[in-house]
Chains A and B, each alone.
Chain A
């Protein structure tokens, strides 16, 4: 088949995003959710004019292809995603670029530093108690022992930080009272 004329070539942009979620996400579920969010927000006609494609999704970072006139629309539809395959999630756009290569170099970090040392340990505070599910840097997700009605919103886990567990000192590991 003859290639397209250069002037008729579609102009594409690559949206680099990071997906935060309570459990690891499947790329198939995410692609499906993006498609359904697009159709729900813009309809069939909008989905036809802005053809989206999930190029890659690994370790929470993803690349999504969209048309160059529809970046704002793509941001909006990614913002409306609140759960993927029944798992609470949020998608934040890191940046937009013209090629996959420059987008990857600019916005996707080479190494993801994940500390899994404290997972499974227990936390006993006055107000809440439970086990640590994930921890990343200062951020800690805990699975509460009991859900009192009226406590928390619709997420499964409660989000805390190391500041809540210790006196707020940057280097303290929180063993003094919390863990």
Chain B
């Protein structure tokens, strides 16, 4: 049972300290949590989070680049510092740039993006092993026509991800302990959004294997420093 909540935001971007998020996630049945702030301001008491027993608290970064060039340079600067890099893309150019960068772990398609993922971007994501992240917080927060629009775009992205055999991640993108949902609740939500039960389970387990790979020292592709 190694479920991970990736892309949680802590103080000062969320309203909980990392240790509170870790405690709440442990109670809900997660094995670990990845805290993804934007990396612009220092995290609140990172050392307190490691005091929570039985939880793997990993530090990641979620990048919202203003343009593709800035995005690439920020991803490159964070790659050696953190084991998990997520990119939240609000436009097609940004999504394309993120998919073409092998340093990116997950591309999270944000709700504000009007159009879904493009075919070229999906093909690039396949080549560079970029996973597609489904942020389920709009499903929780929105009601009515906004949620319908989000569900439609999520379904389209899901079809594309299946077609190109991309790995998928689901997250609640929590900013506080009240935004966290247990793994089974997230799976139930994902099934409504069109996921198969096994796909949803695999999507919740994927961050663990990504973190495991990224924490090792790679000299070049396929060459590991032991």
Which residues of A are interface residues toward B (Cβ below 8 A)?
A: 20-22, 40-41, 72-73, 75-76, 78-80, 82, 88-90, 92-93, 127-128, 138-139, 150-155, 157-161, 163-164, 168
Contact = CB atoms under 8 A, between A and B. Distances in A.
A153 B20 contact: no
A159 B139 CA distance: 24
Chain B interface residue count: which class?
35 or more
Central interface residue in A41, A75, A78, by most chain B CB within 10 Å: A75
B178 A152 contact: no
A39 B175 CA distance: 26
Contact of B179 (A41, A82, A138, A161): A82
B118 interface: no
6 contacts: A75-B184, A92-B182, A151-B12, A154-B175, A157-B15, A164-B44
A151 B14 CA distance: 7
Interface of B: 9, 11-17, 19-21, 23-24, 28, 44-45, 47-52, 139-141, 143-144, 147, 175-182, 184-186, 188-189, 191-192
Nearest to A41: B192
Nearest to B144: A40
Contacts of A88: 176, 178
A45 to B, nearest CB: 15
Given A76-B189, A79-B188, A127-B44, A168 B15 contact: no
B19 to A, nearest CB: 4
A76 B185 contact: yes
A80 B20 contact: no
Closest 3 CB pairs of A and B: A153-B175, A152-B15, A159-B16
A80 B193 CA distance: 13
B12 to A, nearest CB: 5
